[in-house]
């Protein structure tokens, strides 16, 4: 065993350069993109269908969503790095964070479904993104709020990226890794743009709103279960 360790010491690993980080993060992002797409699907698909028709508006939605998700990614990575928890994020901390994120996601989806209904009652023709807030000018695009919260979801690809980023030695390199990883995963979100072509009518909007409520209820349950898991699951 000692002999083996000695052998390993003599192995010369290739230097970690900007290019190698870029390639590795992009490959990881592209490979794990379907998992990201699947885990964000329950949030993106109904809320996107609840928006108005048209590629331009749907592109704006997706840009807001992905932009906010990117900010969420980086913020989470930075905070986790600061706490030294990027590699071994303990379950005792992970579950409450994930629980709160799910609770917030559930609340936002409920609010979203309600706002879409009100917006439609006022004017369905306005080609604007649905905003969440008291006044329209002070409101935040719902897509951005959802994107930011999904950026905080600790999904398996995120953990994989976190593990690799933690080995890079500096926070700048780790954030760079995360940024490129994010680009790789985002490619998989482009098919969602095609939902912009789906013709919106009362049926589509109602289905989207009802689906949002169902998903929100499930997220609220998941959030609560994560927060009081021991009592719910009994172990």
Least distance CB 208 / other proteins (angstroms)? 8
Least Cβ distance, residue 212 to other proteins (angstroms):
8
Nearer to other proteins, 18 or 41 (CB): 41
Q: 84 vs 156, which CB is nearer to other proteins?
A: 156
Cα 141 from Cα 103, distance rounded (Å): 19
Distance CA 28, CA 31 (A): 5
Binding site for other proteins (CB under 8 A): 34, 38-42, 45-46, 202-203, 206-211, 214-215, 218, 225, 231-235
- The least CB distance from residue 112 to other proteins, in Å, is 14
Residue with tokens 């028709």: 53
Q: Given the complex with other proteins, which of 24 and 72 has the nearer CB atom?
A: 72
Q: Of 103 and 215, which CB lies nearer to other proteins in the complex structure?
A: 215
Which residues fall within 8 angstroms of residue 2, CB to CB, at 6 or more apart? none
Minimum distance of other proteins from residue 221's CB (angstroms)? 8
Beta bridge partners of 140: 132
Considering beta carbons, is residue 48 or 180 the nearer one to other proteins? Answer: 48
4 or 231: CB nearest other proteins:
231
CB of 215 to other proteins, least distance (A): 5
To other proteins, the closest distance from the beta carbon of 131 in angstroms equals 23
132 touches 115 (CB < 8 A): yes
CA distance readout (Å), 61 to 16, 105, 143, 200: 36, 17, 6, 15
CB of 33 within 8 A of CB of 188? yes
Per-residue tokens: 128: 């604007």
Whole-angstrom distance, CA of residue 37 vs CA of residue 28: 14
């Amino acid at each position: 065993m000692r002999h083996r360790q000695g052998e390993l010491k003599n192995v010369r690993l290739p230097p970690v350069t900007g290019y190698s980080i870029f390639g590795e993060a992009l490959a990881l992002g592209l490979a794990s993109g379907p998992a990201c797409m699947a885990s964000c699907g329950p949030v993106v698909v109904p809320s996107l269908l609840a928006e108005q028709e048209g590629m331009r508006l749907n592109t704006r939605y997706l840009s807001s969503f992905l932009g906010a998700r990117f900010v969420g990614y980086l913020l989470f990575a930075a905070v986790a790095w600061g706490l030294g928890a990027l590699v071994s994020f303990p379950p005792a901390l992970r579950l409450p964070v994930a629980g709160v994120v799910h609770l917030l996601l559930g609340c936002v989806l409920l609010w979203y479904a309600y706002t879409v209904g009100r917006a439609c009652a006022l004017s369905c023709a306005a080609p604007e993104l649905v905003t969440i807030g008291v006044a329209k000018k002070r409101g935040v695009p719902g897509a951005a709020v959802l994107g930011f919260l999904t950026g905080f979801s600790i999904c398996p690809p995120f953990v994989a990226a976190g593990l690799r980023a933690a080995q890079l030695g500096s926070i700048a390199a780790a954030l760079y890794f995360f940024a490129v990883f994010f680009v790789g995963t985002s490619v998989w979100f482009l098919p969602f743009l095609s939902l912009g072509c789906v013709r919106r009518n009362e049926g589509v909007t109602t289905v989207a709103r009802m689906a949002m409520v169902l998903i929100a209820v499930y997220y609220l349950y998941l959030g609560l279960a994560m927060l009081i898991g021991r009592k719910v699951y009994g172990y």
